[in-house]
Amino acid sequence: MMENGGLKTGNGQAEWDELDPALKQALSDFKASVHAWSEAAASRPRTMREIVVRRTWRLAAGWGLASILLAGAASGGLYEHHHQQELARIAAAEREAAHQREVAAERAQADEDALAKVDSDVSQEVPDALEPLVALSTQDEAK
Amino acid sequence: MATANDIAAQDFASIVENHRLQIFRFLLASTRDVDLAETLTQECFLKAHRNWSHFRGDSSAMTWLMRIAINLQKDHWRNRRMQFWRQASTNKVDLDEASEWLPSGERSVEQKMLARERVAHVWRAVEGLSERQKTIFLLRFVEELELSEIAQSTGLSEGTVKAHLSRALARVRAELGGKR
């Protein structure tokens, strides 16, 4: 309680006396309550357990958060790496297919050329057995 | 033979012994957080110890310590960078819990109940005050400092202290009036 029912400090008494009784009582109770609380809190056995528990909790939360971030970064990196590899594989497959198509086209062209050459050679060559007929047709043309 | 340092250390030890509870009580009432009040009290005396050689004795050791405590408390709340973590880890007790504390006297159960109710009303009024008003109110009505000591501790003029105190009291009065 307030000393002598009011403030113990010198010039506070007059000011205190001016307050209405209900307010005085409330302020006295409030002061007594804060004093009782602080005395109890100051004299409580200060165990390290609470502090350790709180620190452990914070440490665990910190590590948890860091682990999540690390895992996120790692999985993001892995995904990106996998994605890049997939793209590279698709590009290589496309290049290979294009190459195969080119080779096939070249081969087809070469085959066609070879066939055309054979055709023209065959058409110009006259078997020996037909040589007399060729001579006759040449004489007819001369006449 | 005791050296000047030994004497200074002894002086400081007696300062801690004489004022520790008062500083802790003020910080506890300001923060309603026992752990935070303990931490800030320790910081207050650490800071005071570091600056003990600069203490000229122009003001009383009490007002000097109180000024350090007020600044530490201000710094604590002003530092918003870690506000989220501060709020997440706060141990602030609610108003009802704070109002539970009453000295063990010879009061009847009914008287205790009424006293608890009055204390809760004052806490509610204090909750609605600005930081400055709250500090001045607590220094005046819990720590019973003189207006001049409050002015020294807060770095305000006595007139300003009076004005803040008057507003704070009006608020408490209104809160008590509202209960009827």
DSSP annotation string for A73-89: HHHHHHHHHHHHHHHHH
Task: Say whether pLDDT at B156 is over 90.
Answer: yes
Can you give the pLDDT at residue A7?
59
- Tell me, what DSSP letter sits at residue B93? P
Which tens digit of pLDDT belongs to each residue from B84-108? 555 555 667 777 777 777 777 767 7
Residues from chain A that touch B21, judged by Cβ atoms under 8 A, are: 38-39, 42
The single residue listed with the structure tokens 């220094």 is B139
Task: Say whether pLDDT at A63 is over 80.
Answer: yes
Residues from chain A that touch B24, judged by Cβ atoms under 8 A, are: 38, 41-42
Can you give the pLDDT at residue B140?
95
Burial A70-93 (b: 16+ CB within 10 A, else e): eeeeeeeeeeeeeeeeeeeeeeee
Can you give the pLDDT at residue B24?
95
Locate A62 and state its tokens: 């910190």
Residues from chain A that touch B118, judged by Cβ atoms under 8 A, are: 25-26, 29-30
- Cβ–Cβ below 8 Å for A29 and B102: yes
Locate B63 and state its tokens: 């007002």
In whole angstroms, what is the distance from residue A86 CA to residue A82 CA? Answer: 6
Which tens digit of pLDDT belongs to each residue from B41-93? 999 999 999 988 877 776 788 899 999 999 998 888 777 555 655 555 566 77
Q: What average pLDDT does range B24-44 have in this prediction?
A: 92
**Whole-number mean pLDDT of chain B?**
84
- Tell me, what DSSP letter sits at residue B105? -
Which chain A residue has the Cα nearest residue B97? Answer: A37
3-state SS class at B146 = coil
User: A54 touching B, CB under 8 A?
Assistant: yes
3-state SS class at B47 = helix
Locate A14 and state its tokens: 């007059």
In whole angstroms, what is the distance from residue B64 CA to residue B19 CA? Answer: 11
Can you give the pLDDT at residue A1?
39
User: A113 touching B, CB under 8 A?
Assistant: no
- Tell me, what DSSP letter sits at residue B129? S
Which tens digit of pLDDT belongs to each residue from A15-62? 777 888 889 999 999 999 999 999 988 887 765 555 556 667 778 888
- Cβ–Cβ below 8 Å for A36 and B101: yes
> Cβ-count burial of B9 within 10 angstroms (0-12 exposed, 13-18 middle, 19+ buried)?
middle
Q: What average pLDDT does range B152-166 have in this prediction?
A: 94
User: A59 touching B, CB under 8 A?
Assistant: no
User: A55 touching B, CB under 8 A?
Assistant: no
Can you give the pLDDT at residue A12?
63
Question: Of B168, B127, B132, B128, which Cα lies nearest the Cα of B153?
Answer: B132
- Cβ–Cβ below 8 Å for A35 and B103: yes
Quick one: how far is CA A6 from the chain centroid?
68
CA distance readout (Å), B37 to B31, B33, B48, B81, B125: 7, 6, 16, 20, 21
Q: How many residues does chain B have?
A: 180
Can you give the pLDDT at residue A4?
42
The single residue listed with the structure tokens 């501790």 is B153
Question: Of A37, A33, A31, which Cα lies nearest the Cα of A7?
Answer: A31
- Helix B61-78 to helix B131-141 angle, to the nearest 10 degrees? 150
Query: Model pTM greater than 0.80?
Result: no
Can you give the pLDDT at residue B134?
95
- Asked if residues B28 and B92 have their Cβ atoms less than 8 Å apart, the reply is no
Quick one: how far is CA B35 from the chain centroid?
14
pLDDT-derived band at B150 (thresholds 50, 70, 90) equals very high
- Cβ–Cβ below 8 Å for A38 and B28: yes
- Tell me, what DSSP letter sits at residue A125? -
The single residue listed with the structure tokens 């010879």 is B106
- Asked if residues A11 and B146 have their Cβ atoms less than 8 Å apart, the reply is yes
Can you give the pLDDT at residue A28?
92
Distance to chain A for B40, nearest Cα, Å: 13
- Cβ–Cβ below 8 Å for B122 and A27: yes
Percent of chain A surpassing pLDDT 90: 29
- Asked if residues B63 and B153 have their Cβ atoms less than 8 Å apart, the reply is yes
Which tens digit of pLDDT belongs to each residue from A86-135? 999 999 999 999 999 999 999 989 888 888 888 777 666 666 777 777 77
Residue among B102, B147, B176 minimizing CB distance to A32: B102
Which chain B residue has the Cα nearest residue A62? Answer: B85
Taking residue A50's Cβ as centre, other Cβ atoms within 10 Å add up to: 12
